[in-house]
Amino acid sequence: MIVLDSGGISKLTDRSLDSLALLKQLSTLNDVMLVPTPVLVECLHGHSPKDAPTFRFLQKCVLQEVLLLGTAQRAAELRRKSGHGSAVDAIVVALAEPGGTVLTGDQADIEKLATHANKVYVAAI
């Protein structure tokens, strides 16, 4: 499973040659691309035409619309243990457990959280 944070989504939707190449690579994988809805607060503009590329991209993803209590508790634990990261970043890392990969534009914060997670891999884009 691949979990995306707002930086990952922003990079994948910027229509650059790098992002188009990465999207092509991701399409060859059989991994689910998961986006927790709190991430959208950070990368959407709110009913703006600027949101169109993001909404097109989200059609290729699974939206995690419900934050279960256990996931919230795990995210809180990761924030406490790492002493770093936003609530949204912690949710992203908690959802990637165990064995998932986080695609991020904010490698440093995500890696600090992932250090305390169960087999979460971090890939900066």
Residue spans of the domains in the chain: they are 2-124
Residue (of 44, 24, 12) closest to 123 by Cα position: 12
pLDDT of residue 107: 92
Instruction: For the chain, list residues with pLDDT below 70.
Output: none
Calculate ∠ Cα 50-6-55, nearest 5°.
40
Give the predicted TM-score (pTM) of the model: 0.93
pLDDT of residue 19: 87
What is the CATH T-level fold of the domain 2-124, as seen in this structure? Rossmann fold (3.40.50)
pLDDT of residue 10: 92
